[in-house]
Amino acid sequence: MKYELDATNQSLGRLATKIATILRGKNLASYAPNVLPNNTVIIKQIKKAKFTGSKISQKKYHHYSGYHGGIKTRSLKELWETKPEHVLQGIVYRMLPTNRTRDKIIKNLRFE
């Protein structure tokens, strides 16, 4: 099934929980944890989503390359201005269960 969600004036965390629930298939009566649902979620107007509190200025994302001094830090504001899809996809990805199905489930998240 296809689900289309509008991100206008929605908190990003609450939107991400809706997306994760739909992608897992928990909103269906035929939910089974061992069965992959065929749900696709399409997000519209991702740039108009909002953050609560002061997360936009205080939250930091770290990436470590494996080399000495290879840690890179970017703020949420920088990432949101360049790749808002990547930010939301990362949030939803971390809400999914950590097993083999997670990589398959996240492929059903699309952006317009």
The H or E element spanning position 83 is none
- The whole-number pLDDT of residue 71 equals 97
Sign of CA dihedral 54, 46, 95, 20: positive
pLDDT along the chain (112 residues), means of 10: 96 96 95 93 96 94 96 96 95 96 96 94
Instruction: Determine the Cα–Cα distance for residues 46 and 111; give it in Å rounded to an integer.
Output: 8
Which tokens hold the place of 27? 């909103």
- Sheet of strand 2-6: strand arrangement: 2-6, 40-44, 109-111
* 49, amino acid identity: A
- Domains in the chain (CATH in brackets) are 2-51+84-111 (3.90.1180.10)
| C-alpha distances in Å from residue 42, one per residue of 18, 19, 48 | 12, 9, 15
pLDDT value of position 44: 97
- The pLDDT assigned to 6 comes to 97
Per DSSP, the residues of 4-24 read EEE-TT-BHHHHHHHHHHHHH
pLDDT value of residue 54: 94
Beta bridge partners, 6, equal: 44
pTM: 0.90
Residue recorded with tokens 């949420």: 76
